[in-house]
Amino acid sequence: MCWWPDRRCSRAARSPTPALTARTSAPSALRPRPRVADPLPRLDTVAVIFDLDGTLIDSAADIHATANRVMGEMGHAALSRAEVQAYVGKGVPNLVARLLEHHGQDPAGPLLAPTIARFEAEYLTAHSQTRPYPGVLPALERLAGDGAALGLCTNKPLAPARAVMDHLGLTRHFAAILGGDSLPLRKPDPEHLHATARALDRRKVIFVGDSEVDADTAAAARVPFLLFTEGYRKSPVDRIAHTAAFADWSHLPRLVTDLL
């Protein structure tokens, strides 16, 4: 299936080729286009899939606090928020491995599994400081109201992802939620995004995320990528592959319709 709604994809999806169509159906091909203004596009054929941390929600303060609490229990000094944030994006096992490594422990040693378990237990209620970015709720309501199916494809484990979404009143907008432990693989493996898209069953798919991992996932899945620039990316915006970028959530519905 072709997920890319640009000219390349619609050409590939359209068969026969435009030249062949013109030859075999000249009268209709020559008919002038209607002059009436196009109606505003409905989004009934579209799935918009979102990343969570750094995209829908600003969760860095709670991730930072959780990391320092769990590491503190093991006798380690606190890290800065920027240090912890730099480890976010590839899921909890990677975050915990990087924290252990930072503190001079073997990131693949016997401490890894129990520390992941401890982190995930804390993570379930780690949302007291977390908020949706300004404009997220109206943008989701607008997209869903216009007919789009909304999905979540996050590397955060499913249980804490659902818990924070419930806490912030976001869950009801989403027809599919896949966490970092929902499959035996996670982003940047494109199958994480493809599986979310299959659950939504729409012809066109757009991915919205904040990080290099999200950009790599979208590119590997051949899905258009809208980059939210105010999240937890590590590189400059122009070094991250994207179809369009936005800093203000009120711009997102227009960016989605521009891709149709």
Interacting residue with ligand PGA among 52, 96, 215, 256 (CB under 6 A): 52
Smallest distance from the beta carbon of 161 to ligand PGA, in angstroms? 7
150: contact with ligand PGA by CB under 6 A: no
216: contact with ligand PGA by CB under 6 A: no
154: contact with ligand PGA by CB under 6 A: yes
Interacting residue with ligand PGA among 3, 5, 46, 90 (CB under 6 A): 90
- By a kind-dependent CB cut-off of 5 to 8 A, residue 154 interacts, out of ligand PGA, Mg ion, none, with ligand PGA
Smallest distance from the beta carbon of 27 to ligand PGA, in angstroms? 52
Q: What is the 3-state secondary structure (H, E, C) of the chain?
A: CCCCCCHHHHHHHCCCCHHHHHHHCHHHHHCCCCCCCCCCCCCCCEEEEECCECCCEECHHHHHHHHHHHHHHCCCCCCCHHHHHCCCCCCHHHHHHHHHHHCCCCCCCCCHHHHHHHHHHHHCCCCCCCEECCCHHHHHHHHHHCCCEEEEECCCCHHHHHHHHHHCCCHHHCCEEECCCCCCCCCCCHHHHHHHHHHHCCCEEEEEECCHHHHHHHHHHCCCEEEECCCCCCCCHHHCCCCEEECCHHHHHHHHHHCC
Interacting residue with ligand PGA among 4, 43, 54, 205 (CB under 6 A): 54
- 201 tagged catalytic: no
At residue 54, what is the residue type?
Answer: G
93: contact with ligand PGA by CB under 6 A: no
- By a kind-dependent CB cut-off of 5 to 8 A, residue 118 interacts, out of Mg ion, ligand PGA, none, with none
Interacting residue with Mg ion among 46, 48, 50, 51 (CB under 5 A): 51
Q: Please indicate if the annotation marks 62 as binding a ligand.
A: no
Interacting residue with ligand PGA among 85, 105, 155, 196 (CB under 6 A): 155
| Candidate list 51, 58, 62, 216, residue with the active-site label | 51
φ, ψ at 119 (rounded to 5°): -60, -45
Question: So which residues are the catalytic ones?
Answer: 51
Query: What are the residues binding ligand PGA (CB under 6 A)?
Result: 51-54, 88-92, 95, 154-156, 180, 211
Residue list for the binding site for Mg(2+): 51, 53, 210
